[in-house]
A = this chain, B = another copy of it.
Amino acid sequence: MATQKSTRPPATAAERPHPDATRRSQRSRQAIYDAALELVGEVGYPKTTIEGIAARAGVGKQTIYRWWSSKADVLLEAFLDLGDRLVEAAGEEAYTIPDTGDVAADLKAVLRATVDELRDPRFEAPYRALAAEGVVNEELGRTFVARLLEPSLQLHADRLRSAQKAGQVRQDIDPRIALELFVSPLAQRWLQHTGPFSHAYTDTLVDYALHGLAPR
Contacts and interface: CB of A to CB of B under 8 A. Distances in A.
A94 interface: no
Interface in A159-202: 160, 167-170, 173-174, 176-178, 180-181, 183-185, 187-189, 191-195, 201
Given A45-B136, A174-B204, A208-B173, A181 B213 contact: yes
Contacts of A138: 193
Copies of this chain, tallied across the complex: 4
Interface stretch (A9-17, A31-39, A109-117, A141-149): A141-149
A132 B128 contact: no
Contacts of A215: 167-170
Which 3 residue pairs across A and B have the least CB separation, nearest first? A212-B212, A180-B185, A132-B135
